[in-house]
Amino acid sequence: MDYTLSNDHLVVGIKRKGAELCSIKQTGFSDQSFEYIWQAEPAVWARHAPILFPIVGKLRKNAYTWKEKEYYLPQHGFARDMDFDLLNQTETTAAFRLVASPASHTNYPFDFELIISYTLDGNKVLTSWEVKNQGQGPMPFSIGAHPGFNINVHEGETIEDYSITFDKPERVPSYQLEAGLVAGVAERHFLNRDTTLALTPTMFDNDAIILPGLASDLVTLSNKKGDYRLSISIDGFEYLGLWSKPGQPFICIEPWLGIADSTVGVQDISKKLGIRMLEPAATFSKTYFIQIG
């Protein structure tokens, strides 16, 4: 990690690359205390909690058009692979900035400024995003979070010992992915007025589960023993992605403002599902938090 924040409850690590959250541990425990953030094992998934910008998910043929010109973007965009500049840091806060450059204009011809801020508030890690349009015309974008959380805190535990609880009863479908693209609705009501989603070894065999239009403000990941609990705020997010690699001891709980292309979608990014259009000189802001315990 490049930067460390701490208070009486948490110690948090952040990398300059991608302004990526890379560690959350509880204060007052030994160096062997439980690490809540997935540690980016290269052979499994070499990320911790990447920020998805300027798109969420995958584009059809990894391409889009803007004003009849074609551009290419990798899945989840490029911000997660860029070095951010540190704007400021205190013991409990840090802010990072990424701005448009000739290199970014090759794939995304817009003058943007992206500021990522982290704040410790008791047992919460607040992540704030500011997207600024510094260009002369409208700017299309999506943004999302992709935090991966270690599970199996006890030896012998499996994913079946964990569940996700919603703070309100939910009745929503899930989207089915095909080669990373939205292929339709997998189950008409993935949650049927339920508040608890039991995790199973096979639920991610066909890639991520994407839940649109949830009523809940908060989702909680916990184990059967009752000694593991973390919550993620999702208030105001259009989609929630859930993902893991089968057989691996982590799960990603992902608040998204955007979604992958459809298998039959349009290539014009201004018409893409989940895209926001930011007017010149305007700023878009959004905050979510991870709460431990």
pLDDT of residue 33: 81
Q: DSSP E strands: which ranges in 15-66? A: 21-26, 51-52, 63-66
In the chain, the percentage of residues whose pLDDT exceeds 70 is 96
Average pLDDT over residues 113-126: 98
Asked if the peptide bond before residue 173 counts as cis, ω within 30 degrees of 0, the response is no
Amino acid present at 58 = K
pLDDT of residue 264: 84
CA geometry: angle 69, 73, 76, nearest 5 deg = 140
Give the model confidence (pLDDT) of 275-285 as tens digits: 999 999 999 99
pLDDT of residue 139: 98
Give the model confidence (pLDDT) of 178-237 as tens digits: 899 998 776 667 788 999 999 999 999 989 999 999 999 999 999 999 999 999 999 999
The encoded tokens of residue 80 equal 């997660």
Amino acid present at 136 = Q
Give the model confidence (pLDDT) of 238-265 as tens digits: 999 999 999 999 999 999 999 999 998 7
If one counts the domains in the chain, the total is 1
pLDDT at residue 56 greater than cutoff 80: yes
Q: DSSP E strands: which ranges in 90-161? A: 93-99, 112-121, 124-133, 139-141, 143-145, 148-150
Average pLDDT over residues 97-115: 97
pLDDT of residue 32: 59
pLDDT of residue 37: 98
pLDDT at residue 10 greater than cutoff 80: yes
pLDDT of residue 121: 98
Cα–Cα distance, 128 to 132 (Å, whole number):
13
pLDDT at residue 24 greater than cutoff 90: yes
pLDDT at residue 29 greater than cutoff 60: no
Residues 6+ apart with CB under 8 A from 290: 24, 124, 125, 127, 147, 230, 231, 232
Domain residues for the domain of 12 are: 3-292
Q: What is residue 102's three-state secondary structure?
A: helix
Measured from the Cβ of residue 109, the count of other Cβ atoms closer than 10 Å reads: 15
Amino acid present at 242 = L
Task: Give phi and psi for 106, each to the nearest 5.
Answer: -60, -35
Give the model confidence (pLDDT) of 131-166 as tens digits: 999 999 999 999 999 999 999 888 889 999 999 999
pLDDT of residue 18: 98
Cα–Cα distance, 240 to 177 (Å, whole number):
14
Phi-psi region of 184 (alpha: psi -120 to 50; beta: other; left: phi over 0): left
Average pLDDT over residues 3-13: 96
DSSP structure string for 226-250 = S--EEEEE-TT-SEEEEE--TT-SE
pLDDT of residue 31: 53
pLDDT of residue 152: 87
Evaluate whether 268 touches 64 at the Cβ level (below 8 Å).
yes
Nearest to 147 by CA among 12, 10, 31, 8: 12
Strand partners, 52: 144
pLDDT of residue 186: 64
CATH of the domain at 215: 2.70.98.10
DSSP structure string for 267-285 = SBGGGSTT-EEEPTT-EEE
The continuous run of DSSP H or E covering 10 comes out as strand 10-14
pLDDT of residue 163: 97
